[in-house]
Structure 1
Amino acid sequence: MHSYEKFYINGEWVQPSGSGAIEVINPTTEQPCGSVPNGDASDVDAAVAAAKAAFPAWAATSAAERSGYIAQLAGKLDENKEALASLISEELGMPVGWSVAIQVGLPTGVMASYIDLPAEMEKEEELANSLIIKEPIGVCGFITPWNYPLHQIVGKVAPALAAGCTMVLKPSSETPLDAFKFAELIDEVGLPAGVFNLVTGPGRVVGEAIATHKDVDMLSITGSTEAGVRVAELAAPTVKRVTQELGGKSASVILDGAELEAAVGAAVIGLSINTGQTCAALTRLIVPRQSQDAVVAIAKGAAATVVVGGAFDEAAGMGPMVSKSQQATVRKYIQQGIDEGATLVTGGVDMPEGLTEGYYVPMTIFADVTNDMVIAQEEIFGPVLSIIPYDTEEEAIAIANDSPFGLSGAVWGPDVDAAKAVARQIRTGQIAINGGDFNIAAPFGGYKQSGNGRELGAHGLTEFIEIKSLQL
């Protein structure tokens, strides 16, 4: 059991004002694996006050000093990767091998990518008689999700530190344990008191207290579109900056002449990672109608290679859903797809063979899906793939764009130029061309209801900056 009883506020572990605890359930065993304090608005007040008090001195530190702290944190994450991965696997359910590589490896790389970026804050621009300078925006409130918990924390904390901001973090109640381990690492590197503060509790209490707080200058949330809308509404009266990385229903468009084995295999295996609980997952596979039968055969074969099992099962490539409620939600969508008349290729609403406990859903593939079906329009957040046939390239682009979301995507073509030509017409924030790798230095974020703003790299840093003009 990993039990935490105190919050990290103003450089110290302090007793919470709120009462009770939030129990964390291991989705592999369905048993408790830890607990964290159940905070309230008073805890948020204390954390924000600490961040506000720490801001002037932290904002005045040199870029070199902030770079040093970021480098130390990157080193600490790397040193503790095995322990962090094990912790995240317990609370989330991702197989531990994937957790080492993705749940810890990715945020370690992101933190390291910000080591040199504090220097951007000291660059100035002369514009006629004006001197344009950069300043940190101030106290930041972070609300992070359960699916990539440490990565989403680091994706906000690293640029905030680089810019010279102070912060208050509220992690998800489903997977909060890694946030407390991260706070321990913050304490070990000796980050000045009040720069980073951690409070846990329900979104309707702690999250809303952060969103409405008059001394929070900027709010960054990663979560559902509904949650993003809610915090934006709450933040509006104080006119704070709000950045949102929200839902997705991303399309992988396969053009005529593309390599089917690579394109289809990437979609299926990519969806198995984190059990489809990825906002940027490619859940719509848009394929030439004449190729649908071949695509279905390849997809079914790829799905058969995915071994489903517990977080610490060495053979497992896909673990359970994060919670019983998420399992029920995904099963409901699968049944809806069946009821809508889509062809169930593999998977379904039953537990994977040989498993009797744990919040599992099998890899599920539908064919003959039309883009007006619920399973093609709504974010399922599970290992459910919809294969949608098209007749013309123009129709494929229209299908890809016929979505309230626009977070990610992919295009597979017979050559790079053909794929790029289609990718430029798809309204989404990031698109992989013929299997292009994820780049932690490239901006990540969405169009439409997938959010506002960008994370990662130098573009992510700009969300934490105010621009000032000195008229000389």
Structure 2
Amino acid sequence: MDTTLYLGKIQSFAQGHWHTPQTTGRPVYHAVTGEPIAEISSEGLDFKGMLDYARTVGGPNLRSMTFHERARMLKALALYLSERKAAFYEIAQATGATRQDAWLDIDGGIGTFFVYASKGRRELPNEHFLLEGEPETISRGGTFLGHHLLVPLEGVAVHINAFNFPCWGMLEKLAPTLLAGMPAIVKPASVTAYVAERIVRAMLDSGLLPEGALQLICGSVGDLFDHLTGQDVVTFTGSAETGLRLKSHPTVLREAVRFNLEADSLNFSMLGPDVTPDLPEFELFIQEVIREMTIKAGQRCTAIRRTLVPAEKIDAVLEALSERLRQVIVGNPAHERVQMGPLVSRDQVAEVRSRLEVLAEAGELLCGGGQDGFQVVGADPNRGAFFPPTLLYCARPFEHAAPHTVEAFGPVNTVMPYQDLDEAIRLAKMGRGSLVGSLITTDPEIARTVVLGTAAYHGRLLVLNRECARENTGHGAPLPHLVHGGPGRAGGGEELGGLRGLLRYMQRTALQGAPTMLTAICKEWMPGAAQPTSEVHPFRKYFEDLTIGETLTTARRTVTEADVVNFAGISGDFFYAHMDELAACESPIFQGRVAHGYFVLSAAAGLFVDPRPGPVLANYGLENLRFTKPVRPGDTIQAKLTVKKKIPREGDPPSGIVVWHVDVLNQHQEVVASYDILTLVALRPNAATA
């Protein structure tokens, strides 16, 4: 590693230009050498101008794109960053990150872009808005409906990030923000802002972001909060004290600015009472605790701070943990042998040491501690921000508040005994809310008891055993598919969670009106809306020629006993309700022989399908199937096929997706089955080649 690294003044990006502060800024230090490597200051930035620029330039540019266009943008950005991540890895060493630490931060952040790009293309419409759930029939006659509509907020997302994950912490917020269609201003923690600046620079250099979509503040936020509005969003990751101060800003309160707080918390890991030292789960538990204490030198908001162990297994656990921790090689992350790097700064070392003094009053220090002079590979422990892995034991955890209220944000962990599951659950909840808890057990009943007993206090729970050990992502790894956040001390917020992550940046509006009107607004056919007919069979029409609500009402078909018998022979389904008249009559549900539901489905397809080759290329899905009334031999059925939704797509062959709603009716015009089918429908040849 180049220990002569000097970056000069860290720049901000504001209103379309890179900004260099003209005065001397606050020094930023190398975590390994302790040498100054940069200066940081946001002096000279026009914070109100940055907000206005995002609202008037970035917002309209992003909202002009559909979800699919934004998703493709995210994928392109992820690919672009992936090609340049070697440079990000190199500069991350100055933060104290080992190769594995940097992988979690950099590859994890880029991976979040990939996940949201995929979900945007696969789970969102190619539209500028999102419909949530199904329409609600409000009136008896069905002429008045309600639906929930989601549109992007027309403000700015201000993301204030912690120092520990300068890449992932930024990209995991940007992914849902940009996909939702909202511009962002990112403010990284000063001590590692040079990594975030390098990544933002790459994103902007790519030319993939529309103008105004992303700005960067390196340094303080100045008077930015004074100019927020109710259309803006603020997210904060860091200490609970700072988060509360920002959340209580008068403008945030007055304007009802959406504020998402993710605070550091006292996460727990619990060894189940069923796990003995001879089981694989015991080793899994030890490995997980060690890994969570040493990855990023314990500087993770999800790191294990409290380890809960059955009292009769305390000696075995303490011996195993202490032995492993003494073997951890601490030092310069550029050295291959090093397993744990330094903390982010000497200031952080001082803070961890002061918190450890409080924790040590509640128990016994087993290994580590904040003393100077411990062995460090490839660096000077008195100049770099090094701190040894530290384990404490609190024998009476119900008598001491410190392990449940004081967090040393570093490689520090307190082991506590419990006598039974009730005590274990009480201890887990004494942290007053955390981001994550984990349980290692082989017993499903123990797992059920602990999960239901602790879930209200934790944003995520990992239940680990040998079955999922190989593929599990670990106690401390938030996933873009699942929510990240927690109640109480953890801040009460949520991030990620798949498409749930977009909702923070969108306004949910209850929309009411006539079915035909809502159909026109939402571009999706609603029950009770007009169903115009055409002389041309809809399967003979190209994608562009189909209109929302267009409906084909088919001829009728009478179901016979032979139909039921033949379908049973073909399908192998000889369920009594279809074949045994006496048994079917005795059934309180069927009260007589009925046709197979899937026969009704197949017969309906025979009624509405045009058999000739044409624009309909393939049927590839069926959704929302319900059989609502029995069909008996002698009943007559017909189908109504309605164009419910059209989804443009890219790919070969040139085509779009058409969602058709099908109602199957009996001779009394009662719906006996309803469902949606999805087909690929070709574009007109001239459109495909245009």
Q: TM-score, normalised by structure 1?
A: 0.93
Distance 1:5 1:153, change over 3 A: closer
Query: In structure 1, what is the equivalent of residue 248 of structure 2?
Result: 233
Query: In structure 1, what is the equivalent of residue 516 of structure 2?
Result: none
Match of 2:460 among 430, 434, 441: 430
Give the fraction of aligned pairs with identical amino acids, expressed as a percent. Answer: 25
**Does the Cα contact within 8 Å between 2:230 and 2:257 map onto a contact in 1?**
no
Equivalent position amino acid for 2:51 in 1: V
Q: CA separation in 1, counterparts of 2:403 and 2:31?
A: 24
Equivalent position amino acid for 1:458 in 2: L
1:309 aligned counterpart, secondary structure? coil
Alignment partner of 1:366 is 2:363: no
Give CA deviations for 1:275-316 in whole Å, capped at 9, x if unaligned: 111111111010011110000011012212311001312211
Equivalent position amino acid for 1:346 in 2: C
Question: Displacement, 1:336?
Answer: 2.7
Query: In structure 1, what is the equivalent of residue 47 of structure 2?
Result: 44
Match of 1:298 among 320, 326, 329: 320
Match of 1:104 among 103, 106, 113: 106
Alignment partner of 1:397 is 2:418: no
Question: Any residues of structure 2 matched to 1:186-265 within 5 Å, and which?
Answer: 186-190=203-207, 191-202=209-220, 205-206=221-222, 209-210=224-225, 213-214=228-229, 217-234=232-249, 235-258=252-275, 259-265=281-287
Query: In structure 2, what is the equivalent of residue 468 of structure 1?
Result: 509
Q: CA separation in 2, counterparts of 1:280 and 1:12?
A: 36
**Does the Cα contact within 8 Å between 1:85 and 1:99 map onto a contact in 2?**
no
Give CA deviations for 1:402-426 in whole Å, capped at 9, x if unaligned: 1233211101112345224312211
Equivalent position amino acid for 2:342 in 1: P
2:511 aligned counterpart, secondary structure? strand
**Does the Cα contact within 8 Å between 1:27 and 1:323 map onto a contact in 2?**
yes
Question: Any residues of structure 2 matched to 1:30-429 within 5 Å, and which?
Answer: 30-39=34-43, 42-54=45-57, 55-90=59-94, 92-95=95-98, 97-118=99-120, 119=124, 122-124=129-131, 125-128=134-137, 129-137=145-153, 138-190=155-207, 191-202=209-220, 205-206=221-222, 209-210=224-225, 213-214=228-229, 217-234=232-249, 235-258=252-275, 259-340=281-362, 342-351=363-372, 352-354=374-376, 355-371=381-397, 372-426=400-454, 427-429=457-459
Q: After TM superposition, what 4+ stretches of structure 1 lie above 4 angstroms from structure 2?
A: none
TM-align CA RMSD: 2.0
Question: Displacement, 1:229?
Answer: 0.6
Q: Which has the higher helix share?
A: 1
Of structures 1 and 2, the one with the larger relative CO (CA 8 A, separation 6+) is: 1
Q: CA separation in 2, counterparts of 1:115 and 1:338?
A: 47
Question: Larger Cα Rg: Structure 1 or Structure 2?
Answer: 2
Q: Which runs of 5+ in 2 are unaligned?
A: 1-5, 138-144, 276-280, 514-690
**Does the Cα contact within 8 Å between 1:11 and 1:192 map onto a contact in 2?**
no
Question: Displacement, 1:158?
Answer: 0.8
Q: Which of 312-321 and 384-393 deviates more?
A: 312-321
Equivalent position amino acid for 1:304 in 2: R
**Does the Cα contact within 8 Å between 1:272 and 1:383 map onto a contact in 2?**
yes
Aligned residue pair count: 464
Equivalent position amino acid for 2:484 in 1: F
Question: Displacement, 1:31?
Answer: 0.4
Q: Which runs of 5+ in 1 are unaligned?
A: none
Q: CA separation in 2, counterparts of 1:23 and 1:216?
A: 35
Equivalent position amino acid for 1:224 in 2: S
Question: Displacement, 1:447?
Answer: 1.0
Q: CA separation in 2, counterparts of 1:378 and 1:212?
A: 35
Distance 1:422 1:264, change over 3 A: same
**Does the Cα contact within 8 Å between 1:139 and 1:216 map onto a contact in 2?**
yes
Q: Which of 80-89 and 31-40 deviates more?
A: 31-40
Equivalent position amino acid for 2:317 in 1: V
2:427 aligned counterpart, secondary structure? helix
**Does the Cα contact within 8 Å between 1:117 and 1:162 map onto a contact in 2?**
no
Q: CA separation in 1, counterparts of 2:294 and 2:47?
A: 37
Q: CA separation in 2, counterparts of 1:117 and 1:440?
A: 10
